[in-house]
Amino acid sequence: MALVGNIRDFGLSDFLYLVDRGYKTGCLHLNRGDDSASLYFEKGKLVTAARRNSKKRVTDVLVSKGKLTTQQAQNAHQALNGSSNLTQLLVDLNYMSRDDVQQVLQQHIEESVYSLFGWPDGEFRFEQGQKPSSESPIMPIPISVENLIMEGVRRIDEWGRIKDRIPSTDMVVKFVEQPGEKAKGVNLSANEWRVFARINGQYTLSEISQKTNLSEFEVCRIVYGFLTAGLVEVIKKARPQSPHSSSRSPQDTQRVKRSLVTRIINRIRGM
């Protein structure tokens, strides 16, 4: 018999602790409005998760991350049989190492779960013994829910601060003409430079996330830092214009972007 309820009455963190302490194997189905998620556990540890709008096969995830070619993905699907899962097959075929697969899939799955901690309510159903399909992005090493819970709760607290300045990932990021004094002495990490290089006044935060292979949370956190330093501003995405509505060519736009970025970098260095 399935265990059912509402996370309004029985929090997600509490339920995950119950799964962990009870050494449970099965699937936790969550539904809220048009959104849903499925979290699969093996002996209390998370093995994979999927949201309704991103139910991808393991090969889809790895190809999108540039870790697997489409030809390799096709070969793996042709070689798959009922006795193994697709993740393990990719390792057996030497397309990726076990550690590399774990790193990519763990990041993908954790990002699928973190935002669930922000749900104030939602129906849940735990199906004992239910297992994911063999093509799901199953991690080679299941992960503990304890660290997942702590990071999920921390992110919800941080999201509260970020959303005061960045209400949506559909917002566009652009450089300000004159960086503020807070930009003095700014030192950017590798990921911050990746985001910095994608800021052009046209890409949304969501698009920057896709182009950098960073999570939307990480991109928003970095851009929030840029906002605080007075380097950028976020604006609503402009409505699409007709091809004849703008007299500026793509080459002119690119030159303006390069010129502005150069001025900002030089101004920061000169502070």
Q: Quick one: 90 and 192 in the same domain?
A: no
Q: Please indicate, yes or no, if residue 212 is contained in any of the structural domains.
A: yes
User: Is 0.85 surpassed by the pTM of this model?
Assistant: no
* pLDDT tens track for 2-52: 789 999 998 888 889 989 999 999 999 999 998 999 999 999 999 999 887
Residue ending a domain, choose from 153, 188, 204: 153
Q: Please indicate, yes or no, if residue 13 is contained in any of the structural domains.
A: yes
Q: Quick one: 85 and 185 in the same domain?
A: no
Q: Quick one: 127 and 240 in the same domain?
A: no
Q: Quick one: 60 and 146 in the same domain?
A: yes
Six-digit token string for 38:
């499925």
Six-digit token string for 77:
């699907």
Residues paired with residue 206 on neighbouring β-strands, in sequence order: none
Q: Quick one: 103 and 59 in the same domain?
A: yes
* pLDDT tens track for 226-249: 998 889 999 988 766 655 555 555
Residue 230 contacts by C-beta under 8 Å, 6 or more apart in sequence?
Answer: 176, 179, 180, 181, 182, 183
141: containing domain? 3-153
Q: Quick one: 124 and 177 in the same domain?
A: no
* pLDDT tens track for 155-171: 888 888 898 899 999 99
Q: Quick one: 34 and 125 in the same domain?
A: yes
Q: How many domains does the chain have?
A: 2
Q: Quick one: 181 and 206 in the same domain?
A: yes
Q: Quick one: 15 and 140 in the same domain?
A: yes
Q: Please indicate, yes or no, if residue 237 is contained in any of the structural domains.
A: yes
* pLDDT tens track for 196-234: 999 999 999 999 998 998 888 999 999 999 998 889 999
Task: State the angle between helix axes of 190-198 and 216-228 in degrees (0 to 180), rounded to the nearest 10.
Answer: 80
Q: Please indicate, yes or no, if residue 158 is contained in any of the structural domains.
A: no
- Give the position of tokens 């809220």: 32
